[in-house]
Amino acid sequence: MAKEFYTERDIEDMVKRGVQSLELTDDVVLTELAYERASRLGLKLVREHDNPPSAPVRPYIAKAAQVSSSPSAAPLAVVAAAPAKNSDLKKRIHDAAIARLGGQVDPVLLDTIIDRVLNSVGVK
C-alpha cells in the first residue's frame, strides 16, 4: 500500500473542512510542520504509539543503560545497604517532587511511581 504524506497545508485544509482527528498508521506520514500545525489547530492525532515524529524509539539505549554500571550506581548500592534510610530517601524524593510540582500531582500516584523506580534500581 502507498504511504500518504500530509503537509502543513493539508492539515489546514482538513481543519477547514471540519475534520477533528486523523488516524496515524504506518502508511501515514506527517511532516514536522504538519505535526506542529495539527497541534496548534487542535487536530487530534490518533496513533498507536505516542511519540512525535522526531523522537524515535531506541530500546537498545535503555538496555545498555541497565547493563553498564556507572559511577552514579555506587551511591544507590550504599543506600540499598541501609534499609532504615530507604524510607527517608522515599520521603525526600516525595517532598522534592511535591515542592517542584505542587498540586499538579496526585500524592498516592507519586508514591507508587517512587516505589517502582526505587525497586527498578535495586532499592527496596
- Is residue 41, in this structure, part of any structural domain at all? yes
**What are 69's strand-pairing partners?**
none
pLDDT tens-digit series, residues 93-117: 888 888 888 777 788 888 888 888 8
Q: How many domains does the chain have?
A: 2
> From CA 123, how far away is CA 115, in angstroms rounded?
9
Cell 534499609 appears where?
Answer: 83
Residue 101 lies in domain: 70-120
> From CA 60, how far away is CA 31, in angstroms rounded?
26
Do residues 75 and 113 both lie within one domain?
Answer: yes
pLDDT tens-digit series, residues 31-57: 999 999 999 999 998 876 655 556 566
> From CA 8, how far away is CA 35, in angstroms rounded?
8
- Is residue 90, in this structure, part of any structural domain at all? yes
- Is residue 58, in this structure, part of any structural domain at all? no
Residue 119 burial class via C-beta count within 10 angstroms: exposed 0-12, middle 13-18, buried 19 and up: exposed
- Is residue 64, in this structure, part of any structural domain at all? no
- Is residue 116, in this structure, part of any structural domain at all? yes
pTM listed for this prediction: 0.40
